A and B are shown apart, each in its own frame.
Chain A
Amino acid sequence: MRIQTLLLLFCLVLPQLSPAAGPPTNQDFPQGVSSISPGSELWREIRQRDGAILEGTSQVKSVDSGVLINARGEEWARFRVTKLSSYGGIAIAAIFVIVILLYVVRGKILIDGGLSGRMVRRFTDYERIVHWTLAIVFLFLAITGLILLLGKPLLIPLFGKEVFSVFASASKEGHNLFGPLFLVSLVMMFLSFARRNIYEKGDLTWLLKGGGIIGDGHVSGGFFNMGEKTWYWMVILIGFVIAISGLILVSPVFGQGRWIMELSHVVHTIGALILITVSVGHMYLGSIGSEGAMEGMKSGYVDINWADAHHDRWGKVCHDENLIVSAEEYARLQGRKPGDSGELATEQGK
């Protein structure tokens, strides 16, 4: 015990007894130690400052267990905070501004001749269930995801750290739980709508005219127009990428390393931000932005004038095959009283 105490004292006092009062130089280490501070070299190696992967050995046998400090993790964390969060927040804010400006400047897209009240079946009950299931799950995931991504800079100043921690915990649990439901809904969506969303002749014209936003008048379209088809394939393809990357993140038990998790997170977030941003436009055009559009996903029927205006090629099929139901018949199908039959028709359309 005494010997140990003496040794400790010796180690502590020895540097103080050194005749060189200034910082040590290379000459102070004549035995071949080339560094001023060997510790800094060691930590530089461990932190992988030079980009070299340094993996040691460990008794813990798991992925990345030999890596003491993951420098790339810091890069990812910095990228998340400085780029993903800030640019993501700007993108979300920008789309709302664009939609509001569009509504103020362009106004609601009206149908020439107004609504007639005569309807045509567009979606079955099942198709609407699939659409709304995906929509509900997507909205829940979007809100919880945005709380996790933007909550720190936006919610902490508003509610404080303690309340935010409750929000964040709830959002994380809800997000992880609902994530797989998004994949299920996506598969349902793919199986229900894929065939009708295959691109066909005439779709490009729709794109070149900006779906009718550029210039006056409506552009030609089939059952789904080019914009709807593109949105559909975005949802399917980006949605699958989001779902798979989400599953990688939520189940870190399949041997995926840190860099795969970091990559998945970045891909997951960017994909989600793209879908959220475009979905705002989709929601706008499907509701207040376009006259008569909401009815299709509400009742399954759309006004024939709406079909002729936005999907003229499909509208022609409806005319040719006599698929149009009268306002009275539509009211009966919806369980309304006969007197309510014309509630959808505008004076102009009658």
Chain B
Amino acid sequence: MIEYLIDGPLWYFSLAVFVIGVLWQLVAIVFASRKGDLSVARGNATSSALKNIFSRFIPHREIAPQIGVQVVAGYLFHLGLFALLFFAAPHVLFLEQNLLGFGWTPMPHWAFILSAQAAFLGLIILWLRRMTNSVSRLISTLDDHIVAILTFVVMLTGCLALLEGFTALRLLHRFTVELWLIYFPFSALMHTFTFIPSRAFTGAWFGRRGIDA
């Protein structure tokens, strides 16, 4: 019964919430009403938008020493998670059989393990940084903590089921993934889709005013 629920209705429900929720949020952002900028442009908004998208991958020199730990941990976590999501053999197979109908070459097992370890270490350090730095702790919301813990639990249940020999562990992982998908559109996880438009918007806004962002 539980197996049927998790593999069937709950999976489709969570997928629907994820897709519709994300689209809803993105459409809402695109069509959000705002006043037109009537000022005379002092710089090129488009080039600044493009520049800002890429320049933000590297921290500003002035603040780099203060945020070095979170930059390194951030890259470890995000690159590790990306590799796990799209190149882990079980995920490639799952996407091929359940969603896309085609697959691609997965990464070897050793790379899978390294990616998982990088992602875990990065996430633990990022969350601890949030908790230990008084400013980060103050500006953190409940949502930030839920997102971190939920993502950790999803990754953890996935790794505990690595042997692929027990249905219970597979179902546990899939169930946590479904919770994650349902929570995704209503949380800070949306930055997955919004970080590029956000950087572009900021870059364009400053660029038009002639400010080097």
The residues of A with any CB-CB pair to B shorter than 8 Å are: 125-126, 128-129, 132-133, 136-137, 165-166, 169-174, 177-178, 180-181, 184, 299-300, 333-335
User: What separation, in Å, do the CA atoms of A2 and B133 have in the docked complex?
Assistant: 89
B74-116 contact mask (Cβ, 8 Å, vs A): 1 or 0: 0000000000000000000000000000000000000001001
A128 contacts which chain B residues (CB < 8 A)?
Answer: 128, 132
Whether, in the assembled complex, B163 has its beta carbon less than 8 Å from a beta carbon of chain A, the answer is yes
Q: List 9 A-B contacts (CB under 8 A).
A: A129-B125, A129-B132, A133-B124, A136-B128, A165-B166, A169-B163, A299-B134, A333-B134, A335-B134
Are B132 and A300 interface neighbours, CB within 8 A?
Answer: yes
User: What separation, in Å, do the CA atoms of A299 and B124 have in the docked complex?
Assistant: 18
The interface stretch among B13-21, B143-151, B154-162 is B154-162
Most-contacted residue by chain B among A169, A180, A334, A335 (CB, 10 A):
A169
Min C-beta distance of B149 to chain A, whole Å:
12
Min C-beta distance of A245 to chain B, whole Å:
18
Whether, in the assembled complex, B117 has its beta carbon less than 8 Å from a beta carbon of chain A, the answer is yes
Are B162 and A173 interface neighbours, CB within 8 A?
Answer: yes
B156 contacts which chain A residues (CB < 8 A)?
Answer: 174
A169 contacts which chain B residues (CB < 8 A)?
Answer: 160, 163, 165-166, 169
User: What separation, in Å, do the CA atoms of A180 and B125 have in the docked complex?
Assistant: 15
A174 contacts which chain B residues (CB < 8 A)?
Answer: 156, 159-160
User: What separation, in Å, do the CA atoms of A299 and B135 have in the docked complex?
Assistant: 12
Q: Which positions 55-78 of chain B face chain A at CB distance < 8 Å?
A: 69
Are B132 and A177 interface neighbours, CB within 8 A?
Answer: no
Are B69 and A129 interface neighbours, CB within 8 A?
Answer: yes
The residues of B with any CB-CB pair to A shorter than 8 Å are: 69, 113, 116-117, 120-121, 124-125, 128-129, 131-135, 137-138, 156, 159-163, 165-166, 168-169
User: What separation, in Å, do the CA atoms of A177 and B116 have in the docked complex?
Assistant: 8
B161 contacts which chain A residues (CB < 8 A)?
Answer: 170, 173
User: What separation, in Å, do the CA atoms of A126 and B133 have in the docked complex?
Assistant: 9
Q: Which 7 A-B pairs have the closest CB atoms?
A: A170-B160, A335-B138, A173-B162, A128-B132, A125-B132, A129-B128, A132-B128
Question: Which residue of the partner chain B has the closest CB to A332?
Answer: B134
Q: A128-B128, A166-B166 are in contact. Are A177 and B117 (CB under 8 A)?
A: yes
> Chain A contact residues: over half helix, strand or loop, or mixed?
helix
A300 contacts which chain B residues (CB < 8 A)?
Answer: 132
User: What separation, in Å, do the CA atoms of A177 and B134 have in the docked complex?
Assistant: 31
Are B121 and A184 interface neighbours, CB within 8 A?
Answer: yes
B121 contacts which chain A residues (CB < 8 A)?
Answer: 133, 181, 184
B137 contacts which chain A residues (CB < 8 A)?
Answer: 335
Are A133 and B135 interface neighbours, CB within 8 A?
Answer: no
Are B117 and A126 interface neighbours, CB within 8 A?
Answer: no
User: What separation, in Å, do the CA atoms of A177 and B132 have in the docked complex?
Assistant: 26
Min C-beta distance of B21 to chain A, whole Å:
31
Min C-beta distance of B132 to chain A, whole Å:
5
- Given A132-B132, A171-B160, 20 extra CB contacts under 8 A: A125-B133, A129-B125, A129-B132, A132-B131, A133-B121, A133-B128, A136-B128, A169-B169, A173-B162, A174-B160, A177-B116, A177-B117, A178-B117, A181-B120, A184-B121, A333-B134, A334-B134, A335-B134, A335-B135, A335-B137
User: What separation, in Å, do the CA atoms of A178 and B124 have in the docked complex?
Assistant: 12
A180 contacts which chain B residues (CB < 8 A)?
Answer: 117
Are B113 and A166 interface neighbours, CB within 8 A?
Answer: no
User: What separation, in Å, do the CA atoms of A103 and B138 have in the docked complex?
Assistant: 34
